[in-house]
Structure 1
Amino acid sequence: MTTSFLPESPPAAEVPTAAPDGRTTVLIGTDTYPPDVNGAAYFTARLARGLVARGVRVHVVCASPNGRPHVVERDGVVEHRLRSMSSLVHESVRLAVPVGVRGHLDRLLERLRPDAVHIQNHFLIGRVLAGAARAHGIPVVATNHFMPENLFDYVHVPAPLRPHAARLAWRDLGAVLSRVDHVTTPTPAAARLLWEQGFGRPVEPVSCGIDLVRFRPAPENAEGRRRIRAGLGVPDRTTMLFVGRLDEEKRADELIRAVARTSGEVQLVLAGHGAHRTRLEELAVAEGVADRVVFLGFVSHEDLPNVYRAADVFTIAGIAELQSIATLEAMASGLPVVAADAMALPHLVEVGVNGYLYRPGSPEELAARVDEVVADESRRRAMGARSREMSLPHRLEHSLARFERIYREAAAEGVAPPVGGFSHRR
């Protein structure tokens, strides 16, 4: 995927309409899409490009990254970029300007007549698009990537108010999901979470999927690993790795505190950027491990596989992971995993076989588990091999095929009547 925009497309009237050749057409609506940096944005882009490779006509409606509305085709995906404004709460996220969105979506649906609409968020674009699609008699598929914890830090919700804010957020999500025809989420744990919050509709777990060709183990060669580390500017020593945003819910502070408590000269590599980077750098100094914490910042799509190959163990402390694509990529790359025992992460760890779980909030336990993994190189390799095996069912092609079938099934079944949202189960 390129980072620069292609020339703007012809006026709206010349945008291709419904396919006359029998190919499936889907309109994906999302409030976050590259160049936004987050799991939902990356998943949506992979889904769109992957569907195009399978012969599906794909249109995406999302916010413009530079404010001005335009249409552009990239990697075979037609992007309809809506006029946007700063979100004010996150430097890299822009929001569609609400005025005129419904009318624009009505006209877009009338021209495209997609077989199905697939919304990735329940905020402005997803919410309005779901309502517009139903009005046009077009079935709606929704994938939930949301947990309230993902927003608390950005919108500065005080800790005492978070339980109440979470209840309101779940209720709002339920109001949107109650009006769609098929609901998916990445894992059985994420589906169970919706049920626990009182959502009574069926929810299908469909993995986000990963590219098992791009992310694969490097040959076990010490010299090769040294070269990879040197290319990234990483010292050649035992490495625990985290890939993701450096924001509150990722709890990277636990990883830094764990480094200070490991028994050997273990270093931590953090690949990603976020609002908490400065305070994490300060924490590394306070813990006396500034020389053993490497901040790589944003890593390009091309370089990311080598980041995993530079590591000995993948560590993740987040407690709001509905799947964790980064953990799956690490596993596909042949890394053992030490993860917080929270949300969907336990589904990715066979304790003592491909890694370990630790109690969230216990950097001492995290450090002990890292030490246990790296103490025996042959065992570490065996754990990494098992991680690779466990990643195989998450092949991206399987996920793409299932979503394509969902669109066709939804189109054949037509639009279902709305049902109730979340009950007050909790």
Structure 2
Amino acid sequence: MIRVYWRMHIGFYHDAAGTRHAGGIAVYTQRMAVELSETNDVTLYTRRGDFSPVLTDSDVTIVETPSFDDHPSKVTDPINPLGTQNRKKFLMTLWAARNDVIDHMNERLDVLCTYQFLDDLLLSNLVDVPTVYTFHKASTVTPMTWLRDRFSQTERLVANSPDTARRLTETFGYDFEDVVPPGIDPEEFRPGIEPAFESDGPAILFVGRLVESKGIDDLLEAVATLDGRQELHFVGRGERARIRDRAAALGIDDDVVCHGEVPHPDLPAYHAGADVFCLPSHEESFGMANLEAMACGLPVVTTDLEGITTYLSNGENGLLARTGDPQDLADKLTMLVESPSLRSRLGAQAREDAYAFRWTAQAQRFERVCRTALESIEGIDRPSNGPIRVDTV
């Protein structure tokens, strides 16, 4: 059987996907856009900023909007109940509608992809092209999720993990087109990078938002009970003062370092300085930070959440601790701190297993979803620039 593929024009919409300081969902958007630009025409709609080299070195066309960080309060006050981030998203879409960006989407795109609820809610009702929405977490029924469920016009849904798909199917009855997890670039996240820091003893690394739900208190308590001296390094934005205060109360303030937020391309250097990676989250739909650490060959200690156990098996390519249990977390950390051979074995297997999640493979799955969305429209005009490849299947 011969299958012919045409170049699609795929749009990606995310307010922060272009920046070097992109978070998890933004990185997912960014990397999908870059990978799919290899075989399709891709446009990223994002606010202006310090764009990541991975974007500027790619074939992705970037359409910039203002950032709205300092927008007058008289305009934003009526929608303050949405919160700061969603207020900016609302204003970004309003600007897009008033400045012909929506017209650009309708004229140029075959399909538009969004990743956050308000973007999907607004754009699926504004554009004439099919939209694809990717869920990155399974929220309970809140006013925001209810609005999206009630008024979104998107029919093609993707989930970032089987756990996310299962929960949303149970809650809303959604029919997901596919599950496309986050990925890694094995050439970027790899062993052998020049380390960003050095330590005298074993170094434990945490990367993520510095908030309670990420289990930072559990991690501090666990490290405080370990024998010997270990350094604990935090990378991310959030409650740094709270971490310092808690570390001082536990008597480990000299062993705790908060590096602050780090641009995503610089993260491998921090992994290179660590001996163990730990993400003791209380809730996590997937845990992209775990996967990046695994790709760097680091042994990972994380929690036994369903979204995480889809790729991490206890004792095989990492260690799983009970959620919200500092003592169990301490036991797992002790196993790795005291055994270089165990660290080496788990790290090597983690690196090998992470390769299956490379962005190239994930983008191929996502491309199939976009193609299905396009092919579902009756009477579409095929592009005039011809097929990009012919596969025999």
| TM-score tier (shorter) | 0.7 to 0.9
- From 68, 89, 106, the equivalent of 1:110 is 106
Q: Distance in 2 between matches of 1:92 and 1:100?
A: 14
Aligned partner of 2:126 in structure 1 is: 132
Aligned partner of 1:265 in structure 2 is: 229
How many Å apart are 1:215 and its aligned residue?
1.6
Q: After the TM superposition, which of the residue ranges 326-335 and 34-43 deviates more from structure 2?
A: 34-43
Aligned partner of 2:166 in structure 1 is: 192
- 3-state SS of the aligned residue for 2:181? coil
Q: Deviations over 1:28-86 (max 9, x none)?
A: 1224424353101111111112222x1321112234559xxxxx977432233334434
Q: Distance in 2 between matches of 1:300 and 1:289?
A: 27
Alignment map for 1:22-421 (pairs within 5 Å): 23-35=7-19, 37-52=22-37, 54-64=38-48, 75-86=58-69, 94-97=88-91, 99=94, 101-102=96-97, 104-112=100-108, 114-123=109-118, 125-133=119-127, 136=128, 138-148=129-139, 166-175=141-150, 179-218=153-192, 228-229=194-195, 232-274=196-238, 276-414=239-377
Aligned partner of 1:14 in structure 2 is: none
Q: Is the 8 A contact 1:32 1:93 kept in 2?
A: no
Q: Deviations over 1:148-175 (max 9, x none)?
A: 4xxxxxxxxxxxxxx7xx5434323423
Distance 1:95 1:118, change over 3 A: closer
Length, aligned pairs only: 356
Unaligned 5+ residue runs, structure 1? Answer: 1-20, 67-71, 149-162, 219-224, 416-426
Q: Is the 8 A contact 1:49 1:76 kept in 2?
A: yes
Q: Is the 8 A contact 1:115 1:408 kept in 2?
A: no
Distance 1:122 1:348, change over 3 A: same
How many Å apart are 1:206 and its aligned residue?
0.7
After TM superposition, the score normalised by the length of structure 1 is: 0.76
Q: After the TM superposition, which of the residue ranges 76-85 and 285-294 deviates more from structure 2?
A: 76-85
Q: Could you say which structure has the greater relative contact order, defined with CA pairs below 8 angstroms and 6 or more residues apart? A: 2
How many Å apart are 1:238 and its aligned residue?
0.5
How many Å apart are 1:101 and its aligned residue?
4.2
- 3-state SS of the aligned residue for 1:46? helix
Q: Distance in 2 between matches of 1:180 and 1:397?
A: 25
Q: Is the 8 A contact 1:130 1:180 kept in 2?
A: yes
How many Å apart are 1:196 and its aligned residue?
2.7
Partner amino acid for 2:116?
A: N
Q: Distance in 2 between matches of 1:406 and 1:257?
A: 44
Q: Distance in 1 between matches of 2:353 and 2:117?
A: 31
Distance 1:185 1:170, change over 3 A: same
How many Å apart are 1:299 and its aligned residue?
2.4
Name the % identity. Answer: 28
Unaligned 5+ residue runs, structure 2? Answer: 70-75, 379-393
Q: Distance in 2 between matches of 1:318 and 1:93?
A: 28
How many Å apart are 1:147 and its aligned residue?
4.6
After TM superposition, the score normalised by the length of structure 2 is: 0.81
How many Å apart are 1:176 and its aligned residue?
5.3
How many Å apart are 1:385 and its aligned residue?
1.4
How many Å apart are 1:132 and its aligned residue?
2.1
How many Å apart are 1:320 and its aligned residue?
2.9
How many Å apart are 1:93 and its aligned residue?
9.4
Partner amino acid for 1:243?
A: V
